[in-house]
Amino acid sequence: MKILFAEDTADLNRAVTVVLTHEGYTVDAVLDGEAALEKLKNDSYDVIVLDIMMPKKDGMEVLFELRHRHILTPVLMLTAKVEVDDRVAGLDAGADDYLTKPFAMKELLARIRALIRRNEGYAQTEIRFADFVLNTEEFSLSSGNSVRLSIKEFELLQALVANADKSLSTEYLIEHVWKNERDAQEDTVWLYISYLNGKLMSIGSDAKIDGTRGGEFQIQG
Amino acid sequence: MDTNETKASIYGPHLPAMERTMEEILVRVEEIRERLTKKYGSDPIEHCLSRIKSEESMREKCRRNGLPETTESALSVCHDAIGVRIVCAFLDDVYIIRDYLKKIETLTVVEEKDYIRRAKENGYRSYHMIFKAEAGYYVEVQLRTISMDTWAALEHHMKYKKAELANEALIVSELKRCADELASTDISMQTIRQMIFSEDSK
């Protein structure tokens, strides 16, 4: 695991680097924002930690620029300020978390671990429900037989399984699975529910999604 | 022993009668096709192939299964001397045609295997039926969709390629993936067709 750490206070920079290295991370430590962006040109990281107040380019500018370059690495902002507006601006600009100085080393480490975990999507490769298995790496659905699902079918089934204890409305599914895509409508949801029911049947599963066109849906094991 | 005997057909004198049985079945398939076309407004059968297993393949099959190369083995032990393959556009058509075939009074169903509901390990999908015709010959009928047929054609190439494939494991697993994707698409297309028809009936 590789971390880019940008912090202009030399003592703190050194101390954190020592701790992170001790924890087994590979650390590229820099003292200003320009150096951080320079590192990002040649290397990729698992987590980026940015101090907000830095010379040459501050943490916010670095954050804007790296997101503009489509770098999706999780970013943790360090801030001396306690103003809510700063934190809000940082999170809105694409930071994943922030930590207010002074901070306990233990907390910094825990937050870094959390960011890495989140990025790995909890690493769950198999979702089991009733008599079928949904493989999240291959997008395959299997019971007696197996089939491959499209991305939307997969996401829809995942949402239904995660909410198996309740009915989900068509509106909820359009909002959460289709993220309110312009073309998504009642019939889109209904068609995809029908696809999934056909596919569940084809793999020999007894699970079935109950519901009617435009209404609420719930998966039954 | 007569030296000509080794040259005699493994089917003995049965070939002409076998061909008649095959023709009769093709006529029945054609009738089903016409009836369904009238009923649904579109031809459910994409194409239909038939063959009598070649002398060479039948002998090879007997050898492979440790059977003596006799007419008895070819016609009574093996059930695929006469083969018919019906390829359909849509998944549901496979089952509709199966039901019609079962109603043919001159054919008795001996065995049915649904490799669509339960695909073979390598991803192979088809509906296999073995009938016994009135004349006493067995007939194997394979029903499948166009995409299953496409897949089987490619898999056949791989299986019968003489040279050892260096990346066989990769090819086998990728073929399986394709089979599962095609199966998925077959169901999606079927579902879309249902949606189109339900729009019609509104």
- Report pLDDT for B40: 86
Any domain includes A81: yes
Any domain includes A184: yes
Same domain, A11 and A108: yes
Size of interface A-B (CB pairs under 8 A): 44
Chosen domain end from A75, A95, A115: A115
Any domain includes A120: no
Q: For residue A190, which phi and psi values (nearest 5 degrees)?
A: -60, -40
- In whole angstroms, how far apart are CA A115 and each of A95, B3, B60, B88? 11, 82, 62, 51
Same domain, A135 and A193: yes
- Give chain A positions within 8 Å (CB) of B180: 140, 146-148
Same domain, A66 and A159: no
CA–CA separation, A6 and A210 (whole Å): 52
pLDDT per residue, tens digit, chain A (221 aa), is: 899 999 999 898 999 999 999 999 999 999 999 999 999 888 889 899 999 888 898 888 899 988 888 888 899 999 876 678 878 888 888 899 988 888 889 999 999 999 888 767 555 788 899 999 999 888 999 998 999 999 999 999 999 998 888 899 999 999 999 988 888 889 899 999 999 999 999 999 999 999 999 999 999 98
CA–CA separation, A106 and B164 (whole Å): 57
Same domain, A6 and A68: yes
Same domain, A131 and A105: no
**10 Å Cβ neighbour count for B121?**
7
Q: For residue B46, which phi and psi values (nearest 5 degrees)?
A: -75, -50
> How far apart, in Å, do the first and last CA atoms of chain A sit?
40
Same domain, A175 and A70: no
Angle separating helix axes B15-40 and B91-102, nearest 10 degrees: 120
Which CATH number characterizes residue A22's domain?
3.40.50.2300
Q: CB-based contacts of B131: which residues, under 8 Å, 6+ apart?
A: B25, B101, B107, B108, B109, B110, B138, B139, B141
Same domain, A105 and A29: yes
pLDDT per residue, tens digit, chain B (202 aa), is: 444 445 689 999 999 999 999 999 999 999 999 999 999 888 999 999 999 999 999 999 999 999 999 999 999 999 999 999 999 999 999 999 999 999 999 999 999 999 999 999 999 999 999 999 999 999 999 999 999 999 999 998 887 776 677 778 888 888 999 999 999 999 999 999 999 888 765 5
Same domain, A205 and A144: yes
The residue segments making up the domain with residue A12 are 2-115
- Report pLDDT for A180: 83
Same domain, A47 and A73: yes
Same domain, A138 and A76: no
The ipTM assigned to this model is 0.75
Chosen domain end from A115, A134, A157: A115
Please, which contacts does B30-34 make with residues 24 or more away whose CB atoms are closer than 8 Å?
B32/B97, B32/B100, B32/B101
Residues of B with CB under 8 A from a CB of A: 116-119, 177, 180-181, 183-184, 187-188, 190-192, 194-195
Same domain, A90 and A135: no
> How far apart, in Å, do the first and last CA atoms of chain B sit?
75
Any domain includes A36: yes
B/e letters for A169-182, b = 16+ CB within 10 Å, e = fewer, are ebebbbeebbeeee
Q: Is B42 helix (H, G, I), strand (E, B) or coil?
A: coil
Any domain includes A106: yes
A35's tokens: 């150096």
| Closest Cα in chain B to A143 | B118
Which CATH number characterizes residue A207's domain?
1.10.10.10
CA–CA separation, A12 and A10 (whole Å): 6
Chosen domain end from A115, A146, A177: A115
- Report pLDDT for B30: 96
Any domain includes A25: yes
CA–CA separation, B53 and B19 (whole Å): 11
Same domain, A103 and A159: no
Domains identified in chain A, total number: 2
Any domain includes A204: yes
| Closest Cα in chain A to B195 | A191
Any domain includes A109: yes
